[in-house]
Structure 1
């Protein structure tokens, strides 16, 4: 099972567990994580969800080998929820979501921070939003949520450059709340999650709804724009070159491609 689920003290811990693939999301993991969030939302014994990764990565984002098959194989079978369904579950999740970034975080591994109510990060972890290096557009309403967290210019650099951010950079940008030593990460994240979980669920839900409901229109509009741009660019010359380069273990060469 690529997603481990553990309940303790009204905190449900979801651990992405594909360490050999750096916890990259394939369709099965998208489905499992979406199902777990939907179940936690309805479970009266769960007050808080804590999301983290197993091994040296938090998540390497979408599984690019599967993404390549998806873009080239007309018979590829998509999941029940897939990436859009996971986003739907994140947007609608009514309880506090605590994220503990234990290692490298790319793509959705980074953009999920836009939906975190509290985010903790290991001092040795790094973030990257690699969309321009893949020849595609942003995702997960990051074009709307990241400027709110980081400010326009920091968000522009993160989304346009496809460069790595250190934990200190992520903290300075407001993408995470606390940075800890690697061995202290889960204890610190769990301490805060369990403190929240001692509060009444009804109050937690009311506070989160008041904070997030005004953002729904902006999130929906951003997702629509991002999805349209992603659909236009995916399978295009730049994206195919990026995916081919990944499969061949080389750097992509975008020079000479049409603008």
Structure 2
């Protein structure tokens, strides 16, 4: 993760460009630390984005495949949930700037964000079911956030474009890639017109219940060790290795 302060914004940037910003143990841990730092820094808004052609491809399948026992799996997913919990506890607005593809956990983070801006060629998919797993955030709060429309994404793992993501409600704004930063600054300017205490109170009253997500993450930690999931992850890795 990269962390920068500019224009009264805390910028948190996924920086595993060669892995499509996949989320391994260290990335989840650094995301948590960066979010906590940003919430306590002298800035008004937090922006989360990615380097390269991906916002985030989601959880690092190689890391999950190599989890070999309940203790390792519990540690990995407790670390994952700590980052999610940091998002849920933010007192500042979180803007996710989707600079490319957002799959799996990368797409799910958008459901926890306050405002989502996507470039017009961004792609979205919630594909954990293909791997014998569940998308914990989308499963726990997706229906409440987006209604029945989330079910097609959960049950088909279909990839959708930015236009459809906006129609469904995952995305708020779509812009050309070269206009992403200017759109971020435009939205930040609007947010800065609000009173800081009002923002904190709004964030507090609209806080998502963490309990259901925590339960779903715990179930995911069990599923990750099952034979069907291991087999599907193995095939995914073999296919990916052939492509590279």
| 1:49-64 superposed matches below 5 A | 49-64=46-61
Take 2:105 and 2:8, find their aligned partners in 1: how far apart are those partners? 26
Take 2:182 and 2:68, find their aligned partners in 1: how far apart are those partners? 41
> Residues 24 and 62 of structure 1 are in contact (CA less than 8 Å); yes or no, is this contact kept in structure 2?
yes
| 1:1-259 superposed matches below 5 A | 3-43=1-41, 45-71=42-68, 82-140=79-137, 142-152=138-148, 154-212=149-207, 215-216=208-209, 219-224=210-215, 226-249=216-239
CA positional deviation for 1:227: 3.0
> Residues 105 and 135 of structure 2 are in contact (CA less than 8 Å); yes or no, is this contact kept in structure 1?
no
Structure number having the greater helix percentage: 2
Residue deviations 1:146-177 (CA, integer Å, cap 9, x gap): 2233221x111111111111111100100110
Q: 1:80 to 1:243 in 2, by over 3 A?
A: closer
Take 1:130 and 1:239, find their aligned partners in 2: how far apart are those partners? 13
Residue deviations 1:15-50 (CA, integer Å, cap 9, x gap): 11110000111111111110011112222x121100
CA positional deviation for 1:110: 0.3
Q: 1:124 to 1:238 in 2, by over 3 A?
A: same
> Residues 31 and 81 of structure 1 are in contact (CA less than 8 Å); yes or no, is this contact kept in structure 2?
no
Q: Matched residue pairs, number? A: 240
CA positional deviation for 1:80: 10
Normalising by the residue count of structure 1, what TM-score does the alignment of the two structures yield? 0.85
Give secondary structure in 2 for the equivalent of 1:70: coil
Normalising by the residue count of structure 2, what TM-score does the alignment of the two structures yield? 0.90
List runs of 5+ in structure 1 lacking aligned partners: 251-259
> Residues 149 and 173 of structure 1 are in contact (CA less than 8 Å); yes or no, is this contact kept in structure 2?
no
Residue deviations 1:202-228 (CA, integer Å, cap 9, x gap): 22111121222xx42xx412431x234
Take 1:122 and 1:85, find their aligned partners in 2: how far apart are those partners? 28
Take 2:226 and 2:199, find their aligned partners in 1: how far apart are those partners? 44
**CA RMSD after TM alignment:** 2.3
> Residues 34 and 81 of structure 1 are in contact (CA less than 8 Å); yes or no, is this contact kept in structure 2?
no
CA positional deviation for 1:131: 1.4
